[in-house]
A and B are shown apart, each in its own frame.
Chain A
Amino acid sequence: MARIDCNHIRHAYGPHPKSDKDYALKEVHHAFEDGGAYALLGPSGCGKTTLLNIISGLLHPSHGELLFDGRDVTNLSTQERNIAQVFQFPVIYDTMTVYDNLAFPLRNRGVPETDVDRKVRETLEMTGLADMARRKARGLTADQKQKISLGRGLVRSDVNAILFDEPLTVIDPHMKWVLRSQLKQLHRRFGFTMVYVTHDQTEALTFAENVVVMYEGEIVQIGSPAELFERPKHTFVGYFIGSPGMNVMPVAVEGRNARLGSQTIELPGAPKAGTAGAIELGIRPEYVRLGRDGMAVKISKVEDVGRHKVVRASLEGREIAAVIGEDGTVPAEPKVRFDPARINIYADSWRVEMGA
């Protein structure tokens, strides 16, 4: 277990990167605390897997250095870093039995056979593979194979960190939930430093204490699930987290008021934004109140998604979404109000603090 420091890490896959566009990772400068459970969240191609492979040593970063507990490991091999990693698609040694698959990482490191047996049995129990321990790994189903991969990641207890690269993609929904809670339990019991890559916000928000949101090769925000929800630092985080995503609309700010077309919206404070750049207002659909007073909207659609309804409407010619309760009704002349405390203001897509 270790604290992992990424010091100004940049990575390009091509040999001669010219502009920022050639970098898969633009610049990551971040510390993963010892024993933390992190989720790396972001859309496909945002550099999550690149960052993970740099941490595990499968990739050597073009620039920057990597420290484990303050020790520079940038030039160490994967094996010397003592890291466990689980990949998106199952990797199994198909001539071996399930048991031998799990024992493989231990035996390679010369762990005594009695300890191997104890650890493997524990892991078999945890992943629910105990009854097929003696079977050949070939011919198992995809999710059983992935459990073997997962088990191989968890079987060593002395690793510096366990990295997961979208490990539950091929697992069916029920098992996903079970395995995820087991991972959390494991984290609480042993305090591994865990980094979990995913593009699924539910998975990220339920797994991790700290969610690292990445976008186009950069970390845009690190925070608890609640922080990401309430105060997205970048409009991308607003869109990406929450369902539906945050409503973002261009506004003009005048002191403690924001003007949206002919409407004036009261803000909780005066945003500390310069006059330059595009100013936008962001409000979560959960905090858009639909009622009889406020700004007039035209309803285009009401979607019933189960526990609540999503109302799609147009405000000053812009699409906005509002969430109302399961039994909520849409009034005849609908109007909306924004919960002032929940409003965020963005300058050039980055959140600005409110002044007094």
Chain B
Amino acid sequence: MEKTWNNKAWFLVLPVLVLVAFSAVIPLMTVVNYSVQDTFGNNVFFWAGTEWFEELLSSDRFWQAMVRNLVFSFIILAIEIPLGIFIALNMPKKGWGVPVCLVLMALPLLIPWNVVGTIWQVFGRGDIGLLGYSLRSLGFDYNYVNDPYDAWVTVILMDVWHWTSLVVLLCYAGLVSIPDAYYQAAKIDGASRWAIFRYIQLPKMNRVLLIAVLLRFMDSFMIYTEPFVVTGGGPGNSTTFLSIDLVKIAIGQFDLGPAAAMSIVYFLIVLLMSWVFYTVMTNYDSGQ
């Protein structure tokens, strides 16, 4: 077929291009601008080239934050995904229990991040917090302010409390879309509970699970507010994740150049991960 070339069509794309330019491209360009220059304020800039990038990639501080963040994401995925599936499988499929469960599940998702942080900050305190006080009364030496291990446990518990429901809701949506005939056929075929899960429920949840993993990975990899409110990145640097570190550099130390370089590397990592997930998902869809 002969293709029709009509450049007027570009005008139709223009509004979107303008929107995207203002919301994403232009702010990003200012970051690029900072990342290759040095400034001491007063709007005076010096060309720095790739200096900030080289410094960043050879800094232990950056890689430590990166490892901490990856470990954090891995742990919360390892807890939230199986736990979410388990809860979704055990939620009622009909009757009055459905709306009750759905509302209960949606509640943590509706609470603003910094409020979640505050809740847990108070909850975990040894003097007045229910969790901290109870643990201490039971004889545990729990103190998230001084003990890195306790700080990690608190941050992970908080994330699991906050976000497992997202996985539950996604899995539940996948589960209720399975027609009854599948369960009937499984009964006829004598499938065990495990076989039903493995060959009917899991394959049907596959796509929503990929979305859940993607969302939870991205969110946890960019987590800032809650740990900032609870631990402020401490004790020491033990809960300083990438974004907390980034804010420390940019606003705490006012090193705009290194912070900009770090932003770009951070952005590229997130982009790369998204691309990997996207590729996996589309390949899965085409049945390969």
Contacts and interface: CB of A to CB of B under 8 A. Distances in A.
B181 A108 contact: no
Contact of B188 (A78, A94, A95, A139): A78
Contacts of A85: 184-185, 188
A135 to B, nearest CB: 11
Interface residue tally on B, bucketed by range:
10 to 19
B182 interface: yes
A209 B181 CA distance: 28
Nearest to A91: B185
B287 A77 contact: no
B203 A104 contact: no
B45 interface: no
B199 A93 contact: yes
B200 interface: yes
Residue among A56, A78, A138, A153 having the largest count of chain B Cβ atoms under 10 Å: A78
Contacts of B200: 93
Contacts, number: 52
B185 A77 contact: no
Contacts of A149: 185
A265 interface: no
Interface stretch (B11-19, B144-152, B189-197, B259-267): B189-197
A77 B189 CA distance: 12
A92 to B, nearest CB: 9
Nearest to A104: B189
B189 A152 contact: yes
B187 interface: yes
Contacts of A78: 184, 187-188
B182 A136 contact: no
A190 B129 CA distance: 73
B185 A87 contact: yes
Interface in B212-248: none
Interface of A: 53, 56-58, 77-79, 83-85, 87, 89, 91, 93-96, 104-105, 108-109, 136, 138-139, 149, 152-153
Closest 7 CB pairs of A and B: A91-B185, A108-B190, A105-B189, A78-B187, A93-B199, A95-B203, A85-B188
Given A89-B181, A93-B199, A104-B199, 14 more contacts: A58-B187, A58-B188, A78-B184, A78-B187, A83-B188, A87-B181, A91-B184, A91-B185, A104-B191, A105-B189, A105-B190, A108-B189, A108-B191, A152-B189
